[in-house]
């Protein structure tokens, strides 16, 4: 395959400079690709597809009636990040999650940051992820968000921004791990040449993180993964993580809260006590006694058990208060306020529609901005100005005026690209990056993350539920 006609103009490509030279660490990969002809490439692509099929790596799309399982979309050309650049990102992510946890703990206790007027108190009243039931709780180490998936993007000048912090039930880490396995099957020779940081130890770090927050001091606390069940879009991941950690994968109906306010699971030996729950169910569904009374996914009494300190929940209920796109705009201030540091990774400049002046600007420039609902994930309900129709913009303007607090807007960031296999050629496609950060008594960041790629030409939407694919991500150290 030749790269001399690869169109790099205008975008930042992760592997190729604007002068069409290989970036740091990308040389050998590109050389290897150059040596391959169309047939070779096709063969490797098919090998990858077969591997994904037989490994049963699937994801689920909500709207697809009967056929709920789809094979995971994956592109064989990896994205490369040089170790030095990665080390800075890693620090930035640690810093950010530390500040976010300070913020959540503060919000549910003294609310100093509101009293000091660094963050407006009105924000809390209108946040749909603020849980008054959590007021006064003090989870161990002051950590509420134990698992965070941050979305990073790179603009055309090469700057990396944090686009979102996912603090509720971030998903994708299993695909990150499986992508690596598939790439090893497809390009074994490159793993010999390159010094690629391994990432396979994530599940054991996750188990350590969970064990550390157990309310009972013991060597092997009983940790479980709580899933909404087989029909959830991330069920594959829930099962995967449980298996990798050697933890039970439980559904709500497997758990019972006893009269002693402790949580038990139903086993063949009888009831057995649980210490830590990695819950992959949204706050509002975890306990029908406290939140949504119709929920059949949750466990009646779970909040009671948590508040009594008899069970640890990861992430803690209410952690989502910091995972709100309006709160997001204050994260750099939080970092300064709690840590007295400047943010290592900047935020994307954002306009908050709650502010009248900013809202006017947004409404006047809908065709140039990206508008996002404050509390949605998965790319739902978003408007990408330059690619929108007049009708879509009118509709969005109506919604913004109806509830300004629920919307923020950002300039369009032209996401960086990575060479991607398209029908008969290799073309640039836009990508983002979701690394995962774990925090309890220690902090751990995955080496790399899940690179998501918008497979449609020119598209900036990378969500797998909306036609996105994925790539393996290599953090590459100095050559051997």
Partner 1 sequence: MLSRVAERMYWFGRYLERMENTSRLVNVNANLLLDLPWVIRHVWDSLINISGSADIFFEKYENAGERNVIRFLLADESYSGSLICSIRMMRENVRTTREIMPSEAWEQINEFYLYARSDVQKALRRKGRHEFLDDTISFCHQITGLLAGCMSHGEAYNFIRIGRNLERADMTTRIVDVGCMNLLTGKEDIPETYDNILWMNVLRSITAYQMYRQHVQDRVNGEDVVEFLMKDVTFPRAVAHCLGELGQCVSQLPRNDHPLRSMTRVQRMISEMDVPKLFENNLHDFIDQLQVELADIHGQVAQTWFDYGPPVQEQNGQTQTQLQK
Stretch 212-241: interaction string toward partner 1, x if CB under 8 A: -----------------xx--------xx-
Judged on CB neighbours under 10 Å (0-12, 13-18, 19+), 436 is buried
Q: Give CA–CA dist 19/120, Å, rounded.
A: 47
- Residue 252 C-beta: closest distance to partner 1, Å: 8
134 or 257: whose CB is closer to partner 1?
257
Q: Give CA–CA dist 216/229, Å, rounded.
A: 28
Return the range that interacts with partner 1 (CB under 8 A); candidates 8-16, 246-254, 394-402, 435-443. Answer: 246-254
Please report how the helices 38-55 and 173-186 are oriented relative to each other, as an axis angle in degrees rounded to 10.
130
Q: Answer left, alpha or beta for residue 15, where phi above 0 means left and psi between -120 and 50 means alpha.
A: alpha
411 lies in the binding site for partner 1 (CB under 8 A): no
- Residue 245 C-beta: closest distance to partner 1, Å: 9
- Residue 268 C-beta: closest distance to partner 1, Å: 4
Q: Are 136 and 108 in contact (CB under 8 A)?
A: yes
155 or 248: whose CB is closer to partner 1?
248
- Residue 228 C-beta: closest distance to partner 1, Å: 12
242 lies in the binding site for partner 1 (CB under 8 A): yes
Q: Are 416 and 153 in contact (CB under 8 A)?
A: yes
Q: Are 435 and 426 in contact (CB under 8 A)?
A: no
6 or 240: whose CB is closer to partner 1?
240
- Residue 313 C-beta: closest distance to partner 1, Å: 19
100 or 247: whose CB is closer to partner 1?
247
- Residue 239 C-beta: closest distance to partner 1, Å: 4
Among 243, 308, 394, 403, binds partner 1 (CB under 8 A): 243
- Residue 250 C-beta: closest distance to partner 1, Å: 6
Angle at 43 between CA 40 and CA 47, to 5 degrees: 140
250 lies in the binding site for partner 1 (CB under 8 A): yes
Among 135, 159, 253, 365, binds partner 1 (CB under 8 A): 253
3-class SS string, 3-55: CCCCCCCCCCECCECCCCCECCCCHHHHHHHHHCCHHHHHHHHHHHHHHHHHH
As given in the structure block, the two tokens for residue 329 are 């705009």
Q: What single DSSP character describes residue 368?
A: T
Binding positions for partner 1, 26-65, rule CB under 8 A: 53-56
Binding positions for partner 1, 259-318, rule CB under 8 A: 265-271, 296, 300
217 or 293: whose CB is closer to partner 1?
293
254 lies in the binding site for partner 1 (CB under 8 A): yes
Burial 359-372 (b: 16+ CB within 10 A, else e): beebbeebeebbbb
219 or 269: whose CB is closer to partner 1?
269
- Residue 190 C-beta: closest distance to partner 1, Å: 24
289 or 427: whose CB is closer to partner 1?
289
Q: Which residues pair with 430 in a beta bridge?
A: 417
Q: Give CA–CA dist 42/19, Å, rounded.
A: 28
As given in the structure block, the two tokens for residue 312 are 């640890």
163 or 250: whose CB is closer to partner 1?
250
- Residue 271 C-beta: closest distance to partner 1, Å: 8
The residues that touch partner 1, with contacts defined as CB under 8 A, are 53-56, 229-230, 239-240, 242-243, 247-251, 253-254, 256, 265-271, 296, 300
């Amino acid at each position: 395959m030749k790269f001399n006609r690869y169109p790099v103009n205008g975008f930042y490509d992760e592997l190729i400079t604007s002068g069409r030279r290989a970036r740091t660490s990308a040389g050998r990969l590109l050389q290897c690709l150059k040596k391959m002809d169309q047939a070779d490439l096709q063969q490797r692509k098919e090998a990858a597809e077969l591997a994904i099929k037989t490994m049963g790596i699937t994801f689920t799309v909500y709207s697809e009636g009967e056929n709920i399982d789809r094979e995971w979309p994956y592109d064989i050309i990896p994205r490369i990040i040089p170790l030095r650049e990665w080390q800075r990102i890693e620090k930035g992510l640690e810093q950010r999650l530390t500040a976010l946890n300070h913020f959540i703990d503060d919000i549910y206790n003294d609310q100093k940051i509101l009293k000091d007027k660094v963050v407006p108190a009105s924000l809390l009243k209108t946040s749909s992820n603020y849980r008054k039931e959590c007021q006064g709780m003090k989870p161990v180490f002051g950590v509420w968000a134990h698992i965070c998936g941050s979305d990073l993007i790179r603009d055309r000048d090469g700057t990396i921004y944090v686009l979102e912090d996912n603090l509720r039930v971030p998903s994708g880490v299993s695909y990150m791990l499986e992508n690596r396995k598939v790439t090893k099957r497809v390009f074994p020779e490159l793993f010999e040449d390159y010094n690629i940081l391994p990432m396979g130890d994530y599940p054991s770090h996750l188990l350590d993180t969970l064990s550390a927050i157990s309310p009972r001091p013991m060597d092997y606390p009983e940790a479980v993964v709580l899933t909404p069940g087989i029909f959830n879009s991330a069920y594959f991941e829930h099962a995967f993580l449980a298996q990798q950690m050697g933890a039970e994968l439980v559904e709500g109906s497997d758990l019972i809260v006893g009269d002693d306010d402790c949580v038990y699971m139903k086993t063949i030996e009888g009831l057995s006590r649980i210490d830590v729950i990695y819950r992959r169910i949204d706050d509002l569904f975890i306990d029908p006694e406290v939140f949504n009374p119709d929920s059949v996914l949750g466990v009646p009494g779970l909040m009671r058990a948590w508040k009594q300190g008899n069970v640890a929940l990861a992430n803690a209920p209410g952690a989502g208060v910091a995972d709100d796109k309006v709160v997001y705009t204050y994260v750099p201030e939080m970092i300064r306020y709690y840590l007295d540091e400047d943010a290592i990774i900047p935020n994307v400049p954002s306009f908050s529609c709650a502010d009248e002046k900013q809202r006017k600007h947004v409404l006047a420039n809908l065709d140039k901005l990206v508008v996002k609902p404050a509390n949605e994930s998965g790319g739902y309900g978003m408007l990408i100005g330059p690619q929108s129709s007049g009708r879509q913009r009118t509709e969005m303007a109506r919604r913004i005026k109806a509830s300004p607090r629920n919307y923020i807007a950002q300039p369009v960031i032209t996401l960086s690209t990575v060479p991607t296999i398209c029908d008969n050629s290799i073309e640039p496609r836009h990508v983002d990056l979701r690394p995962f950060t774990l925090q309890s008594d220690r902090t751990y960041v995955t080496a790399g993350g899940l690179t998501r790629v918008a497979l449609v030409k020119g598209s900036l939407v990378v969500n797998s539920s909306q036609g996105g694919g994925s790539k393996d991500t290599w953090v590459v150290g100095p050559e051997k």
